[in-house]
Amino acid sequence: MTKRISSPGVIHQVIRRHRFTLKKSLGQNFLADENILKNIVQAANLTRDSYVVEIGPGAGSLTQYLAEAAGKVVAVEIDGRLKAILEETLQNYDNVVVRFGDVLKMDLPKMIAEEFPADAAVTVVANLPYYVTTPILLKLLTDHLPLRSIVVMVQKEVADRLEASPGQKSYGSLSIAVQYLADPSIVMTVPRTVFIPQPNVDSAVIRLDIRPEKRVAVTDEPFFFQIIRASFAHRRKTLMNNLMHQLFPKEQKEAVLDVLEQAGIDPGRRGETLTIDEFARLSENLKPLTAADH
Ligand code: SAM
């Protein structure tokens, strides 16, 4: 019978026995609540035909539940010191592979091709390390992975950004990247008290269902994202000022103003008021200007 790593007592015991010290710099806040672990797995809708990538298995608490619900789990962990603990906590599961390394530096398409069947649709499930939540989400969304959905624990403040609409304080480039590629929803909010050690903020479990078709059509995705990043570079500046400071030489000022007018977008607006459709229109219309530049 496998020992669950889901209560504070057992987590402390395993950590102590292996003389493991939790590293704040690696976002090591272990989840010690069986109900929340079960809720995360339930939100991922897994069956024995599901293929899962977990990021940061830690001591293996979520991994155990995932292994019981899915066909195969590949867990990516940066901290090699967790090897002995994971060997112990996952010893009864023959459908789990742990790969040690930094998920941000990993070739994920290659890893997925090596570990899962060719037509596998992958679900990412994780209690994400807080210090790299945004880069991990952006990598998952833009690496062209065969993803079905992403179910992850993030800080509450990041969860709010994912669902934000134009004009809201938390609306930014992450909101747009997520909403362009996925349908986001908040599964549950989670108090800070269920983690060891307790972080300074509350969390939320979010679910991103990857859309079969992107929300808007753009011909040059990297340029679309460049425009979005430039528009949010300085939130107090107008859209026009941001575009001119970040992307276009002074000589193109008139041309950029003409494009904004054609696109029906007031140059005095701030980037944070633009919808995804407006960003798509803007990037389609501004694209020819960059071609003329080269
Ligand atoms: N899944 C465990 C749980 O729920 O208790 C641990 C979650 S803890 C919030 C985040 C985990 O991610 C830690 O085990 C940490 O070592 C790992 N981690 C941090 N940065 C990482 C990175 N860049 N790549 C892979 N794993 C990382």
Query: Going by CA atoms, what residue is nearest to atom 22 of ligand 1?
Result: 102
Ligand 1 nearest-atom number relative to CA 57: 1
Structure confidence by residue, pLDDT tens digits, 170-183: 999 999 999 999 99
Query: Both tokens of residue 209?
Result: 């269902």
C-alpha of residue 226 to centroid of ligand 1, in Å: 30
Q: Indicate the domain borders of the chain.
A: 8-210, 221-293
Checking if the pLDDT of 293 tops 60, the result is: no
Q: Are 79 and 102 in contact (CB under 8 A)?
A: no
- What confidence tens digit (pLDDT) does each residue in 116-134 have? 999 999 999 999 999 999 9
CB of 55 closer than 6 A to ligand 1? yes
For ligand 1, atom 2, name the residue with the nearest CA: 58
Sign of CA dihedral 217, 288, 235, 267: negative
Instruction: Give me ligand 1 centre to Cα 71, in Å.
Output: 22
Q: What is the pLDDT of residue 3?
A: 87
Q: What is the pLDDT of residue 294?
A: 45
pLDDT at 292: 56
Q: Is 103 in the pocket of ligand 1 (CB under 6 A)?
A: yes
pLDDT bucket at 1, cuts 50 / 70 / 90: low
- 3-state secondary structure at position 157: helix
The residue assigned the tokens 């808007």 is: 216
In this structure, which topology does domain 8-210 adopt according to CATH? Answer: Rossmann fold (3.40.50)
pLDDT at residue 74, as a whole number: 98
Domains 8-210 and 221-293 share a fold: no
- Domain 221-293 belongs to what architecture? Orthogonal Bundle (1.10)
Our answer on whether the CB atom of 60 is closer than 6 Å to any ligand 1 atom is no
Distances, alpha carbon 273 to alpha carbons 36, 146, 236, 276, in Å: 36, 32, 12, 10
